[in-house]
Structure 1
Amino acid sequence: MNIGKQLVRLSQLHGYSYKALAKHLNISEYQLRQCENKHAPFDFNLTLTLSQFFKVRTSYLTAEHTVFSRTNTVQRGHVSISNYNFHTHTQQFYQSIYLANFVEFQSRFVKSPFKQILDITAEIEQLYDQANSQIDFIKNAAEKARTLLIKEPSNLRLLFMLEKAGLCICESNINNEAKPFSFWSEKGMPYIVLNHNNDFAVKSVFDVAHELGHLLLHKHIQFDLLTYEEFQDIEREANIFAASFLLPEQAFKEDLKKVSNLSNPDDYTPLKQKWYVSIKAMGQRAYELGLLTFEEYIAFCHAIHEKNYEAVEPLDDTLARRHPIKITAHLEYMFVRKLITPQKLLDILKVEPEFLTQLANINQSLFDKFTKKEPKEILKYDFIDTSDNR
């Protein structure tokens, strides 16, 4: 019995080398490497330790194949790079595989149409030949996407509208320091993966728009083949897209007329409540639109630094962060309609609920809600005091 194959995948998913994992579990690296040795004796205690650590069943580790095993669901080159780091990209690739496999497993029970986002992507690709420059193409793409996807003069319900259009957006708890990333699955579904531990609403909104830019602008790019300079270029393009998408030119210009002093960051605070975009980003957008002179923009940036708004801005602690709901809603639908029970789901996946919490921020309470509690049998004894009958 060999657990090496599943151990490698789980280690990659969580970003552990064997050396780091061995240190964390207080065991030897040799013990872990023996898991890949087909002739080594089966170590039940080690298997149990690993299953508890990764929140999976022991049967998961010993299985030849699981729901999460298929590696042809995502191409490595289609996973966007959050930073130019091979180790990070490897972990994101494995997260992509696990997520795509889980969502495709859900689709056996409930379908989620995503034709709208595919149609929008096709329309945006047609804009490329019509643009005079790459910058024009990016701005035109952002304007088109805004018009078709967000039919409100605010970004408050951005996540909901993107999910409704067919994107699969989820939050991961696997790595507290992880940056967002995105990818297209081999079945043509676009995914955006956020860090659940990102505190501020405006940061989350910008991250979503940035990754949407990658999905729409860079669908055919092989991210794993980019040079560092090319990586920086597409990051700039995604940032330009995000700013243009979140702060559409005409509507934002009208709002800026209400700002008393465009050089004063605090005067942007009312707009932050509407657009869910940071004050710093709004000032930069105002400058790019030609509404601030260079000197005024320098004064704005100086004030941002003086007030320490790079760390925390006004309203950061009051604007509520919205969370994606599609994956959880699908699970709840499956449970409500009794298409599958929580226990049956976990048995098929061979994981514990905590595994899904780490992978896609699925709350344990969802399983508790639909899990029948077996009544405990209480045995009552009639005790006879025999202390005086010795």
Structure 2
Amino acid sequence: MSEMRDRRPSTSDARQPDLDLTLLFGSTVSAGGESERVCVLSRSEERRRKRSGQRCVGDQFGGDEGRLEGSSLPRRWCGASPRKRLIKLKRRFFEQNGGILLQQHLNLSRHKPAIEVIKIYSSEELKKATNYYDNSNILGQGANGTVYKGVFRSNKIVAIKRSKTCDRSQIGEFINKGIVLSQVNHRNVVKLLGCCLETEVPVLVYEFITNGTLGSHLHANRSLNQSLPITLKLQMRLKIAAEIAGALAYLHSETCMPIIHRDVKTSNILLDDNFTAKVADFGASRLIPLGQTQLTTLLQGTIGYLDPEFLYSSELTDKSDVYSFGVILAELLTGKTPLIFDEGRKSTVNLAVYFVSCVEEECLHKILDDQVAMEDEVFEVVKQVAGVAVMYVFKDKKGGTTYHEGSCSRARSFVQNVILLIKNIT
């Protein structure tokens, strides 16, 4: 009789809710070079499939390595509880994303208390911090991913970046870059606090910067955030330029391994409440091995900021960031975007090219922003700053090559001197 009785659920069973894990892991996972859909089933879904006749099939995958129909999980996972399958999947992602390499570094760093270490967050921590990645917490979106505002239980506010893709062949580079960036301690570089490797694509956690991007202030009427006022006077713009130059100079020559940002632009420059500039978003950046000055790499960056020399040669050097800085300097002086739509010609004009032609033809005043064009004494100083921008983005019309006559370190010193000069004038 006891065998015929219905099995009563135990207390532990009753406490376990049905986890609809298909919603959590419904994206693609690379396996064997192909993209397959992960399908971790909740108990209710398992019962539904059983009633409809779906089952574990293993013929075409070879016996025990079969998988549940519609799932990329191995057959041996199908008998496990949803919670165990979730743990195994997280572990699989952790290993794919270089977690073991990072753990080895953290173990070694324990004996070096002076070195700041990157923190490893769990996926649950980040989901709770962002209210399960609610749209109301989105700070910004781009081609590579979405940035969310997160609040931890300690009330610490952070910025959490979920990327769309991850190059598995560059996982070692990703981990090493994270280690280097976590040790960067510069007031004009956004601090990388940690990462989560339990998801298909790694998630990065940065310090939270409060006042939006430089681009949103320069081009407020074009920005999604219309409430941001244009409050950047000439002196403030030059201070920001000096801070950007200082941050890039630091990344190029003062970190344990030189870092080339590769995507320096106004939307990747954040401003805090004091309008202090912070270079952000190192998703495209590359480490330059010690003893090398350049890398041959695939084209990556933003049109309008891309160094023409890099476009032609695919040889990445710190001059690529220098060129982008020159474009930002032109933006700060003109208030224009790197690509300008010409109403008359019904075509798009490159700001760098247009800026250089205006300087050469001595009609700079035509394109200066209203908050930059001032009395004659200050205008002469602005012309000197414009000359620096031209020096960084100038293209020889005959040879077709670019000349970056300087470094970000020299630019920082020059702009700081200009700021002092303007203070004396005004």
TM-score normalised by the chain length of structure 1: 0.30
Q: Which is greater in Rg? A: 2
Q: Which has the larger helix fraction? A: 1
TM-score (norm 2): 0.29
Q: Which has the higher contact order (CA 8 A, sep 6+)?
A: 1
Compare the two structures and name the one with the higher strand fraction. Answer: 2
